[in-house]
Amino acid sequence: MQAIDDLDLKNLAVEVDDAGIATVSLNRPAKRNALDAATVEEMVALFSLMPRAGVRAVILRAEGPHFCAGLDLVEHHREDRSPAEFMHI
């Protein structure tokens, strides 16, 4: 079984305490923690693995002064994705 530490996370940071409480940090402060495709994929992989890894609760936070600017529109327009395509990432 894959462990949380085995995930190659570039846009998220995660810590899990002994009580099974995970703190997940959005880690793209230069982009106001906007959600690009890579970040969404990391979140899906991480949150899918957490129940099997014994995580009972999650605290979601962000690095920098902004929590999350939402969808990374620069990437979205550059890749010319429709909203439906982005939802399937």
57-77 per-position pLDDT tens digit: 999 999 999 999 998 988 877
The ranges assigned to domains in the chain are 4-87
Cβ-count burial of 36 within 10 angstroms (0-12 exposed, 13-18 middle, 19+ buried)? buried
- Name the residue among 21, 15, 18, 20 with its Cα closest to residue 63: 15
Edge to edge, the sheet with strand 12-16 lists 12-16, 21-26, 57-62
CB within 8 A of 25, min separation 6: which ones? Answer: 12, 13, 14, 61, 62, 63
Q: What's the average model confidence in pLDDT over 22-27?
A: 99
Under the banding of pLDDT at 50, 70 and 90, the label for residue 82 is confident
Map tokens 């690009």 to a residue.
36
Q: 4-87 is classed in which CATH architecture?
A: Alpha-Beta Complex (3.90)
